[in-house]
């Protein structure tokens, strides 16, 4: 792997560097916020930032479990820089400030200085002034340069999880009003707005879209494939990145086709239909509230399982934090559509035509799926079942490279030059090397980022979701007569226990 | 000088050793209690113990992991650690010293092997020191103490090797032993208070990280409340649902994740 990264990396030219790190802020915004970070921050009280930062830090330490990790990390960190070689950002910039360990050290040093006895004593002795505005600026810049892809975690011999530190750092910053405007505006609409979702899609528009998609499938495949809405007692309640309803028609059609072919009982709730949870990227409170909205909707419709669409961060948040905030071991099980489809394929309940997709296909592992080892082989099994020319990227699977838009940065349009020249640099080369015509990325964020990436870097490759390809190749059973339909819906449901083990 | 040496390898050694053991016990205990407390605070008790165990064991014997990143540095680092732990523990004269002082002992390595191991520590120690100095990233990252540690740790090995192998005058021998024993005592004493504590804490890292990702329910609201943002507009559930379990079917409990 080391060799792969060495071959791929090309140094950043000075022009690229300047473009990538240029602040897009207007002068008056800069004057008001007094913080030249590249992404915009919300207008907020700018006075006394260090004190408010420490207050927020103290409050978070009091109510959460982060102190355990911080205490441990400051005792074991050896700063060996082994993580540097694992970091795609450092590989592009070769700036020591982009080494994951350096990034973590920014926050760990604040913790050591202000929240440990020895740190406070040492500061007294040496006359250390403590946290300054400059340090907060560096922190704010650094923590949104990181895409929170967690690749470095595997390379740290001391087991330090730099992404946890990034998560905490961003949380503290958000509590003093420093957070990307794009994320804050979206979650405000999601949590307090009239539409209740991040893309502000009202229910009538959603219904229109779904009807349109059904008609579309009827035209293309000649079969009626419904998108069930508000069906009480359905087995699965479906959440996906709400932007999919605007941008990823093919993915949704593929998912509906799979559900139709397997006879799965599923529904989309009009009370809440957004899987996106930007809280994972900057605020535990937002994360909890968004998940609770999901819980309320699942309860309203009496769903038994939560089915997540093609979205990495949404699926990870639901899978790993739904139990945290919504009932522990009694919480509803969460499964991904990727698991569902693979399981159905294994059981022979969907049929895919291997003669449709003849172009070379490659698969991009969304970090939030693969890093924990949750979804690595499932989509590959599906792809290999009907794509003759399948090519792996290197590295792949659990140690894949981030698309460059992780950690919510993909939603920040101001940082597009950074994403496509710095954080996605290796990914572009990786895709180019496979020579693939299709790059499958089953994640709304990855798709958006990769499309911008191949456009800016001039890579000839079409980015799509797994179910886009499935939709092309799926053989749907002809519409049954009304009396047969009943039998079919009663018969087919995925056995979850098998899906969970795979 | 003999009196100084005897003092250092007698009472001073016993003191430093005891402080090391107690100090390490203390921080290990603190960490484990922290893990327990964090686990109890979080409502999510689904922890992938298997993954934690796998990663922990993987890092204790990281042979398969060298080749991924910085292979030479990683290999050197591993050999350095092996030599550093094995040599002092199984050196014949150390075992003898222990036996005379405490009353029991254990089998020792042949002197020949111990010599090679000491050399290995010196060579790999120099290697990882150079690795830190020459790798631009590591150099920028490191603080003063990071450069000093490998040198300090190599001191007892270098002096010990010279004392037991080189043909030197009795006076020089005693000087070497003096440095050897005092630097050894110093290292033992410093272990629990510095990052050398990773000798006991590193095996707990994966556990700590795994549990630290388990957030307590309602913590976000409590943080906001403490900071005076309780009335910050957000989505407010009709009833506090965080603690109320879902109406889950009995046969689906906990099946999504093992």
Name every chain A residue with its beta carbon within 8 A of the beta carbon of B134: none
Residue A234 has, within 13 A of its CA and on its CB side, a CA count of: 23
Residues A260 and A169 in one domain: no
Which of B84, B202, B209, B231 is the best substitution to test chain A (most A C-beta atoms within 10 A)? B209
The pLDDT of A202-218, averaged and rounded, is 95
Beta carbons of A294 and A309 less than 8 angstroms apart: no
**Assigned domain for A437 exists:** yes
Name every chain B residue with its beta carbon within 8 A of the beta carbon of A376: none
Exposure of A27 by Cβ count < 10 A (0-12 exposed, 13-18 middle, 19+ buried)?
A: exposed
- Structural domains of chain A, count: 2
What is the radius of gyration, based on Cα positions, of chain A?
23
CB B223 to CB A60 under 8 A? yes
The pLDDT of B42-56, averaged and rounded, is 88
The pLDDT of A270-293, averaged and rounded, is 94
pLDDT at A3 over 60: no
**Assigned domain for A501 exists:** no
Q: Which of A179, A199, A220 is the last residue of a domain?
A: A179
Q: Measure B189 CA to nearest chain A CA, in Å.
A: 16
CA pair distance A52, A57, nearest whole angstrom: 8
Q: Measure A249 CA to nearest chain B CA, in Å.
A: 28
CA pair distance A196, B227, nearest whole angstrom: 26
**Assigned domain for B152 exists:** yes
Query: Domain containing A105: what range?
Result: 10-179
Residues A63 and A212 in one domain: no
Element (H, E) at A362: strand A361-363
The pLDDT of A278-300, averaged and rounded, is 93
Q: Could you tell me which residues are beta bridge partners of residue A462? A: A438
Each as own residue / partner, the long-range contacts of residues A196-200 (CB below 8 Å, 24 or more positions apart, any chain) are: A196/A271, A196/A272, A196/A274, A196/A293, A196/B235, A197/A242, A197/A272, A197/A273, A197/A274, A197/A276, A198/A242, A198/A243, A198/A274, A198/A276, A198/A278, A199/A242, A199/A243, A199/A245, A199/A246, A199/A274
What is the per-residue pLDDT across A100-137, written as a single tens digit (0 to 9) for each? 999 999 999 999 999 999 999 999 999 888 899 999 99
CB B253 to CB A164 under 8 A? no
- Structural domains of chain B, count: 1
Smallest Cβ–Cβ distance between A284 and the set B197, B202, B220 belongs to B220
pLDDT at A443 over 70: yes
pLDDT at A493 over 60: no
Question: Which residues 6+ apart lie within 8 Å of A447 measured at CB?
Answer: A247, A248, A441, A463, A464, A465
pLDDT at B247 over 50: no
**Confidence tier at A482 by pLDDT (50, 70, 90):** low
Q: Between B25 and A43, whose confidence is greater? A: B25
CA pair distance A450, A201, nearest whole angstrom: 24
CB pairs under 8 A between A and B: 267
pLDDT at A486 over 80: no
The pLDDT of A41-66, averaged and rounded, is 91
Which of A76, A169, A305 is the best substitution to test chain B (most B C-beta atoms within 10 A)? A76
Smallest Cβ–Cβ distance between B46 and the set A75, A287, A329 belongs to A329
| DSSP string across B61-92 | SGGGGTTTSSHHHHHHHHHHHHHHHHHHHH-H
Residues A73 and A192 in one domain: no
What was the pLDDT predicted at B81?
93
Smallest Cβ–Cβ distance between B198 and the set A76, A94, A328 belongs to A76
User: What's CA A50's distance to the chain center, in Å?
Assistant: 30
Express as a percent the part of chain A with pLDDT over 90: 75
Q: Are strands A438-440 and A462-464 parallel, antiparallel or unpaired?
A: parallel
CB B258 to CB A500 under 8 A? yes
Residues A111 and A213 in one domain: no
Q: Could you tell me which residues are beta bridge partners of residue A390? A: A361
Smallest Cβ–Cβ distance between B195 and the set A76, A102, A295 belongs to A76
What is the per-residue pLDDT across A340-349, written as a single tens digit (0 to 9) for each? 999 999 999 9
**Assigned domain for A97 exists:** yes
Q: Which of A155, A179, A203 is the last residue of a domain?
A: A179
pLDDT at A487 over 80: no
Name every chain A residue with its beta carbon within 8 A of the beta carbon of B242: 288, 292, 325-326
**Confidence tier at A428 by pLDDT (50, 70, 90):** very high
Q: Which of A152, A179, A206 is the last residue of a domain?
A: A179
Whether cis (ω within 30° of 0) applies to the bond prior to A115 is no
pLDDT at A286 over 70: yes
Question: Which residues 6+ apart lie within 8 Å of A326 measured at CB?
Answer: A291, A292, A294, A295, A332, B241, B242, B246
Smallest Cβ–Cβ distance between B71 and the set A2, A295, A501 belongs to A2
Length of chain B: 258
Residues A396 and A295 in one domain: yes
**Assigned domain for B169 exists:** yes
The pLDDT of A227-247, averaged and rounded, is 94
pLDDT at B241 over 50: no
The pLDDT of A69-97, averaged and rounded, is 89
Backbone angles phi, psi at A240, to 5 degrees: -140, 170
Residues A201 and A236 in one domain: yes
**Confidence tier at B236 by pLDDT (50, 70, 90):** low
pLDDT at A73 over 90: yes
* Nearest by Cα to A93 from A14, A200, A183: A14
**b/e A65-90 (16+ beta carbons within 10 angstroms → b):** bbbbbbbbbbbbbbbbbbbbbbbbbb
> What is the number of other CB atoms lying within 10 angstroms of the CB of residue A433?
16
Tokens for A370?
């693969």
What was the pLDDT predicted at B43?
83
Name every chain B residue with its beta carbon within 8 A of the beta carbon of A286: 220, 234
The pLDDT of A205-209, averaged and rounded, is 95
The pLDDT of B170-179, averaged and rounded, is 91
Beta carbons of A332 and A264 less than 8 angstroms apart: no
CB A331 to CB B248 under 8 A? yes
The mean of the pLDDT values for chain A is 89
**Assigned domain for A2 exists:** no
pLDDT at A162 over 90: yes
CB B241 to CB A326 under 8 A? yes
Tokens for B125?
């120690």
pTM for this model (two decimals): 0.90
Does the CB of A144 have a partner CB in chain B at under 8 Å? no
Q: Between A94 and B125, whose confidence is greater? A: B125
What is the per-residue pLDDT across B97-124, written as a single tens digit (0 to 9) for each? 888 878 888 999 999 999 999 999 999 9
Residue numbers of A between 457 and 496 with CB closer than 8 Å to B = 496
Name every chain B residue with its beta carbon within 8 A of the beta carbon of A61: none
User: What's CA A13's distance to the chain center, in Å?
Assistant: 29
What was the pLDDT predicted at A484?
46
Which of A52, A103, A193, A330 is the best substitution to test chain B (most B C-beta atoms within 10 A)? A330
Residues A385 and A324 in one domain: yes
Q: Between A243 and A9, whose confidence is greater? A: A243
CB A298 to CB B246 under 8 A? yes
**Assigned domain for A3 exists:** no
What was the pLDDT predicted at A481?
61
Q: Measure A106 CA to nearest chain B CA, in Å.
A: 11
**Assigned domain for B149 exists:** yes
pLDDT at B243 over 70: no
Which of B220, B224, B236 is the best substitution to test chain A (most A C-beta atoms within 10 A)? B220
Query: Domain containing B101: what range?
Result: 2-25+65-212
Smallest Cβ–Cβ distance between A159 and the set B202, B213, B248 belongs to B202
Q: Helix and strand tally (H, E) in chain B? A: 12, 0
**Assigned domain for A499 exists:** no
Tokens for A421?
């020249």
CB A102 to CB B34 under 8 A? no
pLDDT at B240 over 80: no
Residues A175 and A236 in one domain: no
What was the pLDDT predicted at A418?
93
The pLDDT of A287-301, averaged and rounded, is 93
**Confidence tier at B249 by pLDDT (50, 70, 90):** very low
**b/e A116-140 (16+ beta carbons within 10 angstroms → b):** eeebeeeeeeeeeeebeeebbbebb
Express as a percent the part of chain A with pLDDT over 70: 94
Which of B60, B84, B201, B208 is the best substitution to test chain A (most A C-beta atoms within 10 A)? B208
Residues A392 and A490 in one domain: yes
Domain CATH for A114: 1.10.1060
Q: Could you tell me which residues are beta bridge partners of residue A180? A: A41
The pLDDT of A426-437, averaged and rounded, is 92
Tokens for A420?
């496509």
Q: Measure B48 CA to nearest chain A CA, in Å.
A: 10
CA pair distance B227, A30, nearest whole angstrom: 26
**Assigned domain for B112 exists:** yes
CB A1 to CB B69 under 8 A? yes
What was the pLDDT predicted at A45?
78
Domain CATH for B10: 1.20.950.20
What was the pLDDT predicted at B253?
39
CB A68 to CB B197 under 8 A? no
Residues A248 and A142 in one domain: no
What was the pLDDT predicted at A299?
92
Beta carbons of A145 and A89 less than 8 angstroms apart: yes
Tokens for B114?
């111990």
Residues A340 and A404 in one domain: yes
**Assigned domain for A502 exists:** no
H helices within B135-169, ranges in order?
136-141, 144-165
Residues A204 and A169 in one domain: no
The pLDDT of B141-160, averaged and rounded, is 91
**Assigned domain for B105 exists:** yes
Q: Are strands A351-352 and A305-308 parallel, antiparallel or unpaired?
A: unpaired
What was the pLDDT predicted at B74?
85
Highest-scoring range by mean pLDDT, A6-15, A67-76, A477-486? A67-76
pLDDT at A384 over 60: yes
CA pair distance B70, B94, nearest whole angstrom: 35
């Amino acid at each position: 792997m080391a060799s792969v990264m060495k071959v791929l990396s090309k140094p950043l030219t000075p022009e690229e560097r300047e473009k990538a790190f240029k602040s897009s802020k207007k002068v008056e915004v800069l004057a008001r916020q007094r913080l030249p970070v590249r992404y915009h921050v919300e207008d907020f009280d700018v006075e006394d930032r260090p004190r408010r930062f420490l207050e927020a830090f103290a409050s978070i330490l009091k109510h959460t479990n982060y102190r355990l990790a911080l205490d441990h990390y400051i005792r074991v960190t050896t700063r060996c820089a082994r993580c540097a070689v694992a970091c795609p950002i450092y590989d592009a910039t070769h700036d020591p400030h982009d080494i994951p360990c350096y990034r973590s050290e920014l926050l760990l040093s604040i913790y050591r200085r202000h929240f440990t006895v020895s740190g406070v004593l040492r500061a007294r002795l040496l006359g250390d002034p403590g946290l300054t505005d400059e340090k907060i600026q560096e922190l704010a810049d650094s923590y949104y340069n990181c895409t929170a892809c967690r690749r470095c975690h595997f390379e740290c011999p001391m087991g330090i999880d730099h992404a946890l530190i990034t998560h905490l750092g961003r949380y503290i910053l958000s509590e003093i009003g420093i957070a990307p405007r794009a994320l804050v505006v979206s979650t405000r609409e999601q949590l307090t707005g009239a539409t209740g979702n991040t893309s502000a899609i009202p229910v009538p528009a959603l219904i229109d879209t779904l009807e349109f998609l059904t008609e579309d499938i009827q035209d293309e495949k000649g079969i009626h494939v419904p998108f069930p809405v508000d069906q009480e007692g359905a087995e699965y309640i479906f959440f996906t990145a709400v932007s999919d309803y605007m941008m990823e028609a093919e993915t949704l059609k593929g998912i509906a086709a799979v559900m139709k072919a397997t006879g799965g009982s599923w529904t989309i709730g009009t009370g809440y239909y957004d899987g996106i949870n930007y809280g994972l990227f900057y605020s535990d409170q937002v994360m909890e509230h968004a998940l609770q909205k999901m819980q309320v909707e699942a309860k309203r419709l009496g769903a038994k399982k939560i089915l997540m669409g093609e979205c990495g961060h949404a699926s990870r948040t639901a899978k790993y934090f739904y139990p945290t905030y919504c009932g522990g071991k009694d919480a509803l099980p969460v499964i991904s559509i990727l698991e569902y489809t693979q399981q159905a394929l294994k059981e022979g309940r969907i049929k895919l035509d291997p003669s449709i997709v003849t172009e070379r296909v490659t698969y991009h592992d969304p970090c939030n799926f693969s890093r924990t080892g949750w979804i690595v082989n499932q989509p590959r099994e599906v792809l290999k079942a009907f794509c003759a020319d399948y090519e792996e990227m290197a590295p792949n699977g659990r140690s894949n490279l981030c698309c460059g838009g992780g950690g919510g940065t993909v939603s920040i349009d101001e940082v597009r030059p950074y994403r496509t020249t710095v954080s996605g640099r290796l990914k572009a080369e990786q895709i180019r090397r496979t020579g693939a015509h299709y790059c499958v990325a089953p994640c709304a964020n990855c798709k958006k980022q990769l499309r911008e990436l191949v456009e800016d870097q001039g890579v000839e490759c079409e980015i799509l979701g797994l179910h886009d390809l499935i939709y092309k190749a799926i053989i749907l059973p002809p519409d049954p007569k009304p009396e047969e339909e009943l039998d079919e819906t009663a018969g087919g449901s995925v056995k979850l226990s098998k899906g969970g083990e795979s | 000088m003999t009196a100084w040496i005897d003092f250092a390898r007698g009472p001073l050694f016993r003191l430093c050793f005891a402080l090391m053991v107690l100090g390490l016990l203390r921080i290990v205990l603190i960490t484990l209690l922290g893990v327990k407390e964090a686990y109890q605070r979080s409502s999510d008790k689904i922890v992938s113990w298997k993954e934690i165990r796998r990663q922990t064991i993987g890092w204790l014997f990281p042979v398969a992991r060298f080749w991924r990143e910085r292979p030479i540095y990683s290999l050197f680092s591993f050999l350095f650690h092996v030599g550093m732990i094995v040599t002092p523990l199984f050196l014949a004269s150390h075992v003898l010293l222990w036996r005379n002082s405490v009353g029991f002992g254990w089998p020792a390595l042949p002197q020949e092997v111990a010599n090679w191991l000491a050399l290995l520590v010196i060579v790999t120690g120099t290697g990882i020191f150079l690795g830190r100095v020459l790798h631009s990233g590591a150099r920028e990252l490191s603080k003063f103490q990071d450069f000093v540690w490998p040198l300090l740790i190599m001191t007892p090995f270098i002096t010990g090797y010279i004392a037991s192998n080189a043909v030197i005058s009795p006076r020089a021998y005693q000087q070497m032993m003096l440095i050897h024993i005092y630097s050894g005592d110093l290292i033992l004493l410093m272990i629990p208070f510095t990052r050398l504590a990773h000798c006991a804490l590193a095996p707990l890292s994966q556990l700590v990280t795994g549990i630290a990702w388990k957030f307590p329910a309602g913590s976000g609201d409590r943080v906001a409340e403490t900071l005076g943002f309780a009335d910050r507009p957000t989505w407010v559930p009709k009833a506090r649902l965080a603690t109320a379990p879902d109406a889950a079917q009995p046969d689906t409990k906990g099946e999504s994740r093992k």
